[in-house]
DNA sequence: TTGATTACACTCACTAGTCGGTATACATAG
DNA sequence: CTATGTATACCGACTAGTGAGTGTAATCAA
């Protein structure tokens, strides 16, 4: 097997990740995760004390790759801040075209667990979105944009709006529209910002 | 009882609405809905052939009130198009402060049913969001704004982004930020629009 | 010997959906 | 004005299966 050399715990988290993201958290049983991981349920419960803990591990595993991808998409964008910001949305649209795309794991989990505000998964999700926002804020700040913090929030709102809307309509064109909005907002801040033209 | 005079079917849908919205669709059993409605499960299955049909009825019931509220909030807003658009977000922020607020029923349902793209509830949700978008597009069009259709999409993206983000952070301030973004976008379109100043 | 794993039987609560039957109302036929 | 038919609305009890999580004894590798 290709992943036989991975630690058992990681194999379990990978299996959980595939299933939770693909089917939804409540739709997937612990038995199904154990089977997909090629492990008995007893072993799963050796590594995780509950399904809730497994859910938390699933989200934690996605934090860093998600952030890294954001940074890469931004860095690879051609042009100024506004163009680079728009590039993030365009890359997102491209990735949303894959049939296996099912929106944002954090947002979907928070929608499923909306009745448990104190759930560990909610805290992880909130912290992750804050990381996104903070990263944009720092980036905009470094570029000398006016109202960097507010602007970061608005970009994140457009990002998460894209996730939600495209999940419903299955039409990544909404991400392009969000990208144009982000472009316009960042461009406007650039005009008002420190020592910029017009 | 206060709602004893309501038809049984309506009482069931009301109970389903409370529970599905409050707890999530998969988290709520048909038994729980029947009990809350003060009806046996057999009676529930007399009126609805499946849980899926009940879910669809739950969403359909929310369509018209949701749209009416949007129109009212917009109409009650003071000032021009941009101000009125921003007023929608401000009203949304106010309503999101209620503890029972759990985001957008349509978005949360679509997140739970992301693995069933053909589910009736998904179609209802998509159609409802389209109605929102179309209403904004027609309104912006009537005001002679440039790119009314694109602008409507962007406002809807900000709206749905607000739902998603505030559900996670429990901080309605994000809706104010989204409102400012919408205000800026609409104002810019106004500047570029038919015969507007500057 | 100790930490990791398996096999598997088990609990107990819950789940969507069904079977057969009942109460009422309002017909129409004798 | 009965008697029978028919349709709507409703219910208690049930099935067959799934849910998370546990108990226990045995195995395997370092």
DSSP H or E segment with residue A9: helix A8-23
Which of residues 48-107 of B have CB within 7 Å of strand D? none
Q: Which residues contact A109 (CB under 8 A, 6 or more apart)?
A: A20, A25, A55, A59, A121, A122, A125
Q: Are residues A99 and A185 in the same domain?
A: yes
Q: Does residue B55 lie within any of the structural domains?
A: no
Backbone angles phi, psi at B26, to 5 degrees: -75, -20
pLDDT of A2 above 50: no
Distance in Å from D13's C1' to B26's CA comes to 25
Q: Residue B119 and residue B113: Cα distance in Å, rounded?
A: 8
CA atoms of A134 and A157, how far apart (whole Å): 13
Distance CA A159, CA A186 (A): 14
- Do B164 and A26 make contact, defined as CB atoms within 8 angstroms? no
For residue B29, what pLDDT is reported?
94
Distance CA B110, CA B134 (A): 20
User: To the nearest whole number, what is the mean pLDDT of chain A?
Assistant: 92
Asked if residue B84 and residue B25 are part of one domain, the reply reads no
Q: According to the model, what pLDDT value does residue A82 have? A: 97
Asked if residue B35 belongs to a domain, the reply is yes
Q: Which positions 37-96 on chain B have a beta carbon less than 7 angstroms from any atom of strand C?
A: 41-42, 45, 49-52
Q: Which residue is nearest to nucleotide C14 (CA to C1')?
A: B29
CA distance A11 to B66: 44
Work out if B116's Cβ lies within 7 angstroms of strand C.
no
The predicted pLDDT at position A193 comes to 58
Q: Both tokens of residue A112?
A: 């499923």
The string of pLDDT tens digits covering residues B137-188 is 999 999 999 999 999 999 999 999 999 999 999 999 999 999 999 999 999 9
Nearest-by-CA chain A residue for B132: A165
A117: in domain? yes
Rounded distance between C-alpha atoms, residue B47 and residue B37, angstroms = 13
End-of-domain residue from the set A10, A25, A49: A49
Count how many domains chain A has.
Answer: 2
Residue A57 belongs to some domain of the structure:
no
The reply to whether residue B115 touches residue A24, judged by beta carbons under 8 angstroms, is yes
Pair A105, A159 in one domain: yes
Segment A93-100 mean pLDDT:
96
- Measured in angstroms, the CA of B5 and the nearest CA of chain A are apart by 30
Q: Which residues of A touch B55 (CB under 8 A)?
A: none
For position B197, what pLDDT does the model report? Answer: 44
Q: Verify that B41 and B104 share a domain, yes or no.
A: no
Domain match, A99 and A9 both: no
Do residues A32 and A53 lie in contact, with contact meaning Cβ atoms separated by under 8 Å?
A: no
Domain containing B74 equals 62-194
Closest by CA position to B160, among listed B185, B130, B137: B130
| Ranges of chain B whose pLDDT falls below 50 | 1-4, 195-198
Confidence (pTM): 0.92
| Inter-residue contact A48 to A12 (CB < 8 Å) | yes
Assign A190 a pLDDT band (cuts: 50, 70, 90).
Answer: confident
The tokens 């053909």 sit on which residue?
B118
Which one has a higher pLDDT value, B84 or A190? B84
pLDDT at B117: 87
Q: Find the Å distance, CA of residue A61 to C1' of nucleotide C2.
A: 29
In chain A, the percentage of residues whose pLDDT exceeds 70 is 94
Is A103 within a domain? Answer: yes
């Amino acid at each position: 097997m290709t992943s036989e050399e991975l630690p058992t715990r990681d194999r379990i988290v990978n299996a959980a990740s595939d299933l939770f993201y693909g089917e939804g958290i409540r739709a997937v049983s612990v038995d199904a995760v154990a089977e997909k991981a090629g492990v008995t349920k007893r072993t799963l419960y050796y590594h995780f004390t509950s399904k809730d803990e497994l859910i938390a591990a699933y989200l934690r595993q996605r934090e860093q790759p998600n952030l890294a991808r954001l940074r890469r998409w931004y860095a690879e964008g051609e042009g100024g801040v506004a163009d680079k910001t728009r590039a993030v949305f365009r890359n997102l649209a491209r990735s949303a075209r894959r049939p296996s795309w099912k929106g944002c794991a954090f947002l979907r989990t928070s929608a499923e667990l909306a009745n448990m505000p104190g759930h560990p998964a909610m805290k992880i999700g909130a912290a992750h979105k804050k990381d996104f926002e903070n990263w944009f804020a720092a980036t905009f700040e470094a570029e000398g944009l006016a109202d960097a913090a507010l602007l970061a929030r608005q970009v994140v709102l457009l990002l998460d709006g894209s996730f939600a809307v495209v999940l419903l309509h299955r039409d990544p064109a909404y991400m392009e529209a969000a990208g144009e909005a982000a472009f316009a907002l960042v461009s406007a801040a650039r005009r008002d910002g420190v020592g910029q033209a017009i």
